[in-house]
Amino acid sequence: MISDLNKQRFEYIWHLYNENKTEKDLAFRDHVPCDPDVWQFPKHLIEYHKLVFETNKDAFDNKTILDIGCGTAWYMGCMENAKKYIGADPDEKSIKYAKIMASLIDIDAEISFNTAEKIDCTADTIMLLSVTQHLKYLKTVFSKFDCKNIILDSWEQLQGVHLNELVVLLEKQGFALTHKLEWDDPNKDGNFTDRGKRYILHFDRQIDQTAVI
């Protein structure tokens, strides 16, 4: 279950981001939970948290986590047991607030303005939460990382690739799909209906050597 502290961190970053403020304008210690009439931690994200972070805790405990398309790193607080958190995103504003989030959490964190295609690092677990639909070179992204776990939040229809094709690709690279959990976001944008269903998928590597595709 996501802690009250993490809910407040989440709200705090949302508050700063949407009002274009920084920690110099409002320190975390002075922040109070947002007025429910304005915004508060969405209840539906509690279930989302379970599907992503509690389905396979071994993917996070004492692991180096690469969060591709990390945004404001809202969920960094859920990875306090990780060895290291690496967040990358091509949006400068998001990275600005991801660094503020990192300052609130006792974790070795590295935040950078970067794309999935260009980032170069080593990680045990790769996360892409609602990112796959934006990646133009989806089929080549995973082959460059020698990771043990992959966690995706993905719609069925991607950049000219169906989710099933991506699953087959990862299986050829030695991964097994261990969990496929449908995620029906009650606040989903009606513009996304053509993307099909949305899933949280967990993959574990079954062999040590990546297959050549």
Identify the CATH number of the domain in which residue 176 sits. 3.40.50.150
**Domain containing residue 97:** 43-205
pLDDT exceeds 80 at position 150: yes
Q: Taking residues 28-40, what's their average pLDDT?
A: 75
Report d(CA 204, CA 148) in Å as an integer: 6
For residue 154, what are the contacts with CB-CB under 8 A and spacing of at least 6? 128, 130, 132, 133, 163, 166, 198, 199, 201
Q: At a CB cut-off of 8 Å and minimum separation 6, what does 187 contact?
A: 42, 44
| Mean local confidence (pLDDT), 35-45 | 70
Q: What is the model's pLDDT at position 37?
A: 65
Within a domain: residue 56?
yes
Q: Is the pLDDT of residue 193 over 90?
A: no
Q: Is the pLDDT of residue 212 over 50?
A: no
Name which residue leads in pLDDT, 194 or 8: 8
Is residue 125 in some structural domain? yes
Flag whether 9 is in a domain. Answer: no
* Residue at 169 is within a domain: yes
pLDDT for the residue numbered 186: 66
- Least confident range of 122-131, 159-168, 176-185: 159-168
- Percent of the chain surpassing pLDDT 90: 48
Q: Which residues lie across from 179 on neighbouring strands? A: 202
Rounded CA gap, 31 and 133, in Å? 34
Mean pLDDT of 61-72: 94
pLDDT at residue 191, rounded to an integer = 58
pLDDT at 47: 87
Average pLDDT over residues 60-83: 92
pLDDT at 85 over 60: yes
pLDDT confidence of residue 111: 95
60 vs 139: which has the higher pLDDT:
60
Q: Per the domain annotation, does 15 fall within a domain? A: no
The one-character DSSP state at 117 is T
Largest CA distance in the chain: 53
* Confidence at residue 108, expressed as pLDDT on a 0 to 100 scale: 95
Asked whether residue 74 is domain-assigned, the answer is yes
Average pLDDT value for the chain: 86
Which two tokens mark 139?
A: 């089929």
Instruction: Look at residue 187 in the predicted model and tell me its pLDDT.
Output: 60
CA gap 72, 169 in Å, rounded: 29
Residue 100 is assigned to a structural domain of this protein: yes
Is 22 within the bounds of a domain? Answer: no
What is d(CA 69, CA 59) in angstroms, rounded to the nearest whole number? 18
Q: Per the structure, how many domains does the chain have?
A: 1
Q: Once rounded to an integer, what is the mean pLDDT over residues 154-166?
A: 84
